[in-house]
Amino acid sequence: MFAELLLLPLGPVADDCTWNGIPLHGEVQVVEGFPDIRVQIVESFPDLKVKTVTSFPDHCGEWEFVTSFADFTIQFVDSFPDIRIKYVQSFPGLP
């Protein structure tokens, strides 16, 4: 049983900055239904710190919001999120 506990993830975001195999950087589209990831914005204890950029979202937590041809889609929710994010101006990524 102890070995099984060691295999459990510590949070919803993996150490390689992915959620269910989706890299959490790149071009992001906000949708109203059927998202890839349900996201809640919080001020404390985030799963991921996000910095919005206008180009080259190549590093963990860097998101460029687009209206089409996104790498993944998100829906903002108030409860039951897949991940919780906090917007930051610097040092995006895992907390």
CA distances from 11 to 15, 46, 94 (A): 9, 10, 11
Position 16: which residue type? D
pLDDT of residue 3: 46
- Give the pLDDT mean for 78-84: 97
Secondary structure of 56-93 in the HEC alphabet? CCCCCCEEEECCCCCCEEEEECCCCCCEEEEECCCCCE
Asked if pLDDT for residue 5 goes beyond 50, the answer is: no
Q: What percent of the chain has pLDDT over 90?
A: 88
Asked if pLDDT for residue 79 goes beyond 60, the answer is: yes
